[in-house]
Amino acid sequence: SQQGEEDPQALSIQEGENATMNCSYKTSINNLQWYRQNSGRGLVHLILIRSNEREKHSGRLRVTLDTSKKSSSLLITASRAADTASYFCARIQGAQKLVFGQGTRLTINP
C-alpha cells in the first residue's frame, strides 16, 4: 500500500491515562503531519514535524520522529473524553500528493 501504516488500529483507555499511537512510512519525507477527526467530521490539523526535528510539543500532545526507522509517534498525555477521535498521520508522496495513514481510533472511557 502507498499509505502509511498506523498502529494500533484502535485503542481504548481510561480517562487520565496516556495514549500513544504510531505511524510508519516507506519513503523519505520533508515533514510529517498529524490530524484528528471527530466522528464523520472534517480533519483538524494537530502538529507538523519536520524531518530535521526529533520531537515537538503542543499542549498535551507530543510528537516524535525517527527518520532512520521511518516512523513517528503521537503521545496524548492525561487523556480526556474529548480526545475520543480518530488520529491520522500524513506525508507527501511524489510531487505534491498527500497520503494519509489508515488512522487510529482512540476511545477514552470515563
Partner 1 sequence: EAQVTQNPRYLITVTGKKLTVTCSQNMNHEYMSWYRQDPGLGLRQIYYSMNVEVTDKGDVPEGYKVSRKEKRNFPLILESPSPNQTSLYFCASSNWWADNEQFFGPGTRLTVL
The contact set with partner 1 (CB under 8 A) reads 2-3, 30-31, 33, 35, 40-45, 48, 88, 90-92, 95-103
Q: Do 77 and 83 touch, CB atoms closer than 8 A?
A: no
Q: How far apart are CA 25 and CA 12, in angstroms?
A: 24
Least Cβ distance, residue 60 to partner 1 (angstroms): 19
Least Cβ distance, residue 21 to partner 1 (angstroms): 13
Among residues 40 and 110, whose Cβ is nearest to partner 1?
40
Among residues 3 and 84, whose Cβ is nearest to partner 1?
3
Least Cβ distance, residue 97 to partner 1 (angstroms): 6
Q: Do 77 and 18 touch, CB atoms closer than 8 A?
A: yes
Q: How far apart are CA 64 and CA 58, in angstroms?
A: 12
Among residues 3 and 64, whose Cβ is nearest to partner 1?
3
Q: φ and ψ at 103, to 5 degrees? A: 95, 155
Among residues 33 and 79, whose Cβ is nearest to partner 1?
33
Query: 82: helix, coil or strand?
Result: helix
